[in-house]
């Protein structure tokens, strides 16, 4: 049982949610990963944290955490499963290889100006963003040309 930020737990409590070992397990798994995880992947890893945890509970917990804003739902490639990542700061930046599905994070990004412009134009209150570049990593470029 690894550390979970107290802040998140407090947030659950404030909303009247109970802190069950299953929820702790899901939180731990997500907090420990630096990548998007599918419900199935979280289920698998969750077994180590809380043997016997059900897939249904994973789905329910993820939905709740997303609603609380603790994690983020991301609509990824891959025959259409919804992945999840934990929120860093409302920003998500990835380079994704179409060949091997490697995900590389990057931090440089200056979208502030665009964000403001869009906000003015559409009336949206923007709270976060996701920027993903899709392409081929060096390794997969070599494989393809071989």
The site for its own copies (CB under 8 A) is made up of 72-73, 75-77, 79-82, 90, 95, 97-98, 104, 106, 108-111, 114-115, 117-119, 121-138, 141
Give the Cα separation of 72 and 84 in Å (integer): 6
Give the Cα separation of 77 and 4 in Å (integer): 29
Give min distance, CB of 6 to DNA, in A: 13
Q: Is 28 in the site for DNA (CB under 7 A)?
A: no
Give the Cα separation of 61 and 109 in Å (integer): 31
Per-residue binder mask for DNA (CB under 7 A), 116-145, x = binder: ------------------------------
Give the Cα separation of 4 and 27 in Å (integer): 7
Count of residues of this chain found to bind DNA when the rule CB under 7 A is applied: 27
Partner in contact with 117, chosen from DNA, its own copies, none, beta carbon below 5 to 8 Å by kind: its own copies
Q: Is 10 in the site for DNA (CB under 7 A)?
A: no
Beta bridge partners of 69: none
Which residue shows structure tokens 């890893």?
A: 45
Give the Cα separation of 73 and 42 in Å (integer): 13
**Range 56-75, binding DNA (CB under 7 A):** 56-57, 59-61, 63
Give the Cα separation of 109 and 128 in Å (integer): 13
Give min distance, CB of 72 to its own copies, in A: 8
Give the Cα separation of 128 and 99 in Å (integer): 28
Give the interface with DNA as residue ranges (CB under 7 A).
13, 16-23, 38-40, 50, 52-57, 59-61, 63, 79-82
């Amino acid at each position: 049982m690894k550390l979970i930020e107290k802040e998140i737990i407090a947030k659950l409590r404030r909303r009247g949610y109970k802190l069950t070992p299953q929820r702790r397990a899901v939180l731990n798994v997500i907090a420990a990963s630096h990548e998007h995880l599918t419900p199935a992947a979280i289920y698998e890893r969750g077994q180590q944290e809380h043997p016997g945890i059900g897939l249904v509970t994973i789905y329910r917990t993820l939905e709740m955490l997303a609603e609380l804003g603790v994690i983020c739902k991301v609509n990824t490639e891959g025959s259409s499963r919804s992945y999840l990542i934990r929120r860093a700061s409302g920003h998500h930046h990835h380079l994704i290889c179409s060949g091997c599905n490697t995900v590389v994070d990057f931090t440089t990004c200056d979208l502030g100006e665009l964000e403001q412009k869009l906000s003015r134009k559409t009336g949206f209150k923007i709270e976060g963003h996701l920027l993903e570049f899709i392409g081929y990593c060096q390794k997969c470029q070599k494989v393809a040309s071989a």
